A and B are shown apart, each in its own frame.
Chain A
C-alpha cells in the first residue's frame, strides 16, 4: 500500500483530537487559572500529551491569550539559545508552553523552572513523570482509545482488529503512537505479510482464527 493511501499516515492520525465538552474545557482552564497557568500535562510515551497541549494552545488563543510554544525532541537536553532567551523575555501575560520538558537536563530544567517560579509567569509543560512541575492533567493510556482510533481510521476495511490492537498495545507497553506506527507498517506491507502477522498474533493468543482477514481486498 502506498503512503498516500495508508489509513495510518501521520496526517490522518493527527486529526484525532481530545473530545472534551465545552464544560470540560471550561473547568480545565479554570483549574489552570487557579494554579496561575503553571502546570504540567503528565503521562507516559504516546498517550496524547502533545495532542492535548496543541488543543490547549488553540483554546487559549481563542480566548485571546498570547502563547509561545516550543517542542523538545528525544535527546535534546537544552533549549536552543534563541528559544531560551524568548522564554525568559516574554511579555508577562504570554503563556509559555514547553512540550517534552523531561528532555532537559536537571541543571537546565532547574534554571528554567526557577525563572518561572520566581517570576510567577505562566508556564505549561508536558512531562513523562510527575515531580518536576505541578500536575495540571494526567494523561492515561487505554486500549479502548487505540481500538476507537483504529476503527475510525480503517472504517471497517479490516475485520476484527481488536486482537491486533491488544497485541500491539501490549508490545508497545501502552504507547498508542507506536502502536499506530506499527499499524502503518502492517498496512504498507503486502497482504501476505499482513496475513502472516495476523497468524502470528493468533498463535500468540493461542487462537485458531486470523484476526485480519480482509486485508487483501484493501491493499
Chain B
C-alpha cells in the first residue's frame, strides 16, 4: 500500500500556498527510496503535455512508514478545464525500484477555483 494525501484533505489551493502532504506506505519490500513529484499534465483531444515542478527524493525509508512533508506550490500554470483540454495538478508518490505509484489530484488556481474555459462566440 502506498498513499499520498493532503493533510486535512484539502484539494484546492492558491498558487504559492504551502501544501502539507502525508505519505503513507506499507510495502512488501523495503523500498530503496520514495519519490514525491509535484507536477501537472494535460488531458484532452491532443497529446499529453506534462511537467514536474518539484521532486523530493526520500532515502533510507522503512518498509512501513508515514511522514508529513511541506511543499510550496508554484505560481502557475493554473488548473483549468475546457472542452478541448484540461490542465491537472497532482502529487505523485513512486516507490523505487518497485515502481508502485499513488496519485492525488489537486487544484492550483486563484481563489482555489479551477479556471473554466468557455466557448467564445464567433
Query: Which A residues fall within an 8 A CB radius of B?
Result: 1-4, 6, 8-11, 181, 184-185, 188-189
Residue in A2, A10, A11, A181 whose beta carbon sits within 8 Å of that of B83 in the complex: A2
Specify the chain B residue showing the minimal Cβ separation from A185.
B45
Q: Do the beta carbons of A3 and B48 come within 8 Å of each other?
A: no
Interface of A is mostly: helix
In the complex, what's the smallest C-beta–C-beta distance from B114 to chain A, in angstroms?
A: 9
Q: Which residues of B contact A (CB under 8 A)?
A: 43-48, 81-86, 88
User: Can you pick out 8 interface pairs between chain A and chain B where the beta carbons lie within 8 Å of each other?
Assistant: A2-B86, A3-B44, A3-B82, A3-B85, A4-B88, A10-B44, A10-B46, A188-B84
Q: A181–B81 contact, CB under 8 A?
A: no
| Pairwise interchain contact A4-B86, C-beta atoms closer than 8 A | yes
B-chain residues with CB within 8 Å of residue A8 when the two chains form the complex: 45
Which of these, A6, A10, A184, contacts B47 with CB under 8 Å? A10
Cβ-closest 9 pairs across A and B: A3-B44, A4-B86, A188-B83, A3-B86, A2-B81, A9-B43, A184-B45, A3-B85, A11-B43
Closest to B84 in A: A3
| B72 nearest CB across to chain A (Å) | 25
